[in-house]
Chains A and B, each alone.
Chain A
Amino acid sequence: MSLNRRKALITMAAPFLVGFDPAEAQFAPVGQRFLGKLVDLILPQDAQSPAASALFVHVELQEVVQSHELLARLFEYGLSWLDQVGGRPFLDLPEAVQIEILQFASQADFNQVPGRFFAVLRLMACDIYFSKAEAIEGYPLQVAPQPEGYPPPWS
């Protein structure tokens, strides 16, 4: 990840504490199994491209998250919220309920933990996933724009 992209991401993660009481949270570790499930809910396997975990998106995601304290805290809070909101651990919930929870988070206030966490999680997962050659099967794209470029005609 380039320096400017990382700076932007960390800036985005920063003001997430509004309205969340960490004293009441039981922190979940930022584990690969949890992250693997989350990235697969966002980017599941389909007919043309693999699930995110098959491309080790969760492994790279964990490395980035753990490399910066602010991101790590956001993810700890976010995962804790996920584990509490359904009445039992997130990973034990039926997939339909898991999706419902993520739908809620995707619509939640960006300045609260659920909304901020989901936005950053989705952004990072997509950023990593679509950087893999296998992920762009079915797109009118080459693996990389060079060396061939895209000579005309285009229409």
Chain B
Amino acid sequence: MELSKTPDVIVIGSGAGGASVAYGLVSQGAEVLLLEAGPWFEPVEDYPQDSAGWERRSFPVKEGSQASITFGDLGVLDTADRDLMRWSDVAGREHPQMGQQRLPYAGGYSHVMGVGGSTLHYVGEAHRLHPEAFRFQTLTGQGADWPISYDDLEPYYTQVEHLMGVAGTDAGPARWQSAGFALPPHPMSTGAQVLMQSGDGWVVNPRAVNSEAYDERPACNYCGQCSRGCPLGDKASVDVTLLRRALDSGRLTLMADAHVTRLVLGAGGRVSHLDVVHQGAERRIEAPQVVLAAGAVNTPRLLLASASAAQPNGVANGSGQVGRHFMETLRWESAGLVQGLRKSHMGLPSDATDWGFAVPNAIEGLAGGFKLSHTTLDTGLGGPIGYATRMVPGFGAAWKAQMRAHFGSALSVAAIGQVVADERSKVVLDAAQVDRFGVPVAQIHSVLTQNSLGLLRAMQSETRAALAAAGADLADETSSWDEFIATHVFGTARMAARAEDGVVNGGGQSFDHENLWISDASVFPTSGAGEAPSLTIMALGLRMADAILG
């Protein structure tokens, strides 16, 4: 593919961070070249929810849609913490090997490489960070403060909510809004209704899913399978929202299967070129302004892998901070059966939330917090396979009758919690393994600290309490203690007020290279207390577009 125009900006990565900055730029008249390493996904073909066997099909893996990663130190499973072990009525307690390394689950962290990035498989939770999250270090004495405030981001939060069609009532405690959401809230599923009737803290969870037709996209029909990919386009993944609009402008050139292998520095410390392999052909592309938006694992990887004689520690790494402060998410999920509950397999995933612990000082003696969500549909309890393998033990004819009797009565609550950055948790280059282009792959190290273990116990207590209040008989619990299974990852190229403390400034611009910017969750100094990061990533992206164009 030859470029017909010289771009003003090159964006690397088309997920929430890349798409938002690309949209912000082209909507103000700039020409943008967007390089995506993964493939295109075709919703109707790739997310088939219209035939038997749908429950066995998770979000599709296509060639090039998963990052090559390895794992280093993920911590050791200590017998003293076995109260945090996963279990279920069906599988019993699977006795992980105590004293052994915590292992990654399947791919290890939840991500998609492709046009639209991880928004393709997210459920579309649309969360603003709590204003106090930006002052985390000041309030807790741990972690870091953001160099920007909630007020700095608020206009961009509002803009994103309207671009994506966020539906809901309000953004949550303390999260002031200059305008209401674009769409009215969705109806509550029966599981959410039970939670709302049994506890005061449960409220509507803001969702980037159409509650009515909006933005030339249809209303949701509540199939409940957002994370398997949305075939209708009512879920606001960025391929059907920001990128569609940007492509319609005629000012965005999008190249899929385009792998940036190196950032090449030129005179004056600017990034002069990008080495790219596009559809198998090597090429060098001149770089005017560059936005790196490859996520909190592959962004530091590319910066580190671009080391040269002049920059032996990698690009943008004058502070030595690239790859440090990696943060996974903590997860505790409790599920049970509620007598009298019916049709809990119908509705919108994560339709209700409880913000009560989503602040920096949620638990006395601990730093960080967590958010509770109603997750019956998100976590695979929308079909009989989920019930058979997690909720209803046994076999034989009597068991089949029990399966039918219980189906639709499952209720699940998950807590997503905050990890405070630790010296041992980082992304580095694997010293022994390279990808097919000869670039070292990223290696993740992530260790649960005593603070994380304390938060996990608090999360366990609160999810159990929520289920007990709803009258559920506990049947299944899973935890990120057993396995590294991060729903989101953060912090490996963090923003800071001073160059020695971070990689980019509050606008996302590299301290070391004036034409290099970073637009993804790697810039988060802290992760928030369980809020989904996509809305904040996109708000930062739009704000960055304004900064680039001056």
A residues at B contact (CB < 8 Å): 1-5, 7-8, 11, 15, 41-44, 46, 48-49, 99, 102, 106, 109-111, 119, 122-123, 126-127, 130-133, 135-136, 138-141, 143-155
Contacts and interface: CB of A to CB of B under 8 A. Distances in A.
B103 to A, nearest CB: 8
A13 B403 CA distance: 25
Contact of A152 (B187, B342, B345, B388): B187
B50 A147 contact: yes
B57 A2 contact: yes
B401 to A, nearest CB: 7
B88 to A, nearest CB: 11
Interface residues on B, range: 35 or more
A55 B55 CA distance: 17
A102 B393 CA distance: 13
B58 A155 contact: no
Contact of A131 (B52, B107, B396, B408): B52
Given A44-B397, A49-B400, A4 B347 contact: no
B92 A141 contact: no
B428 to A, nearest CB: 24
B50 A154 contact: no
A2 B56 contact: yes
A151 B388 contact: no
Contact of A144 (B52, B395, B408): B52
A151 B342 CA distance: 15
* Interface SS, A side: loop
A155 B393 CA distance: 27
Contacts of A43: 395, 400
A4 B61 contact: yes
Nearest to B396: A44
A8 to B, nearest CB: 6
Interface string B56-100: 111011000000000000000000000000000001111101000
Nearest to B223: A145
B92 to A, nearest CB: 6
A145 to B, nearest CB: 4
A144 B106 contact: no
21 contacts: A2-B60, A3-B61, A5-B56, A8-B106, A11-B105, A46-B400, A46-B401, A49-B400, A109-B95, A126-B388, A127-B385, A130-B384, A130-B388, A136-B384, A140-B345, A141-B407, A144-B51, A145-B382, A150-B223, A152-B222, A154-B343
A136 B190 CA distance: 21
Contact of B343 (A48, A99, A155): A155
Contacts of B54: 144-145
Nearest to A150: B346
B43 to A, nearest CB: 11
A148 B225 CA distance: 13
A143 to B, nearest CB: 5
Nearest to B97: A15
Contacts of B187: 152-154
A146 B223 contact: yes
A139 to B, nearest CB: 5
Interface of B: 49-58, 60-61, 91-95, 97, 103, 105-107, 187, 189-190, 193, 220-225, 231-232, 342-343, 345-347, 382-385, 388-389, 393-397, 400-401, 404, 407-408
Given A110-B91, A149-B221, A122 B52 contact: no
A105 to B, nearest CB: 10
Nearest to A12: B94
A72 to B, nearest CB: 21
Given A126-B385, A126-B388, A140-B342, 14 more contacts: A3-B61, A11-B103, A41-B395, A46-B400, A48-B404, A106-B395, A110-B91, A127-B385, A130-B55, A131-B53, A133-B52, A136-B384, A146-B50, A146-B231
Contacts of B58: 2, 4-5
A141 B231 CA distance: 19
Contacts of A3: 61, 106
B202 to A, nearest CB: 16
Contact of A141 (B51, B383, B396): B383
A4 B60 CA distance: 9
B485 to A, nearest CB: 10
A149 B56 contact: no
Contact of B221 (A41, A150, A154): A150
B299 to A, nearest CB: 24
Identify the interface centre among A41, A123, A154: most chain B CB within 10 Å of its CB: A154
Given A4-B58, A154-B347, A140 B397 contact: no
Contacts of A139: 384, 404, 407
Nearest to B228: A145
Q: Which 6 A-B pairs have the closest CB atoms?
A: A149-B221, A145-B223, A150-B346, A146-B49, A131-B53, A126-B388
A14 to B, nearest CB: 10
A140 B408 CA distance: 8
A144 B91 contact: no
Contacts of B93: 110
A135 to B, nearest CB: 7
A46 B232 CA distance: 37
A42 B193 CA distance: 35
- Kindly name the residue among B52, B93, B193 whose own CB sees the greatest number of chain A CB atoms within 10 A: B52
A155 B60 CA distance: 33
B312 to A, nearest CB: 37
Contacts of A152: 187, 222, 346-347
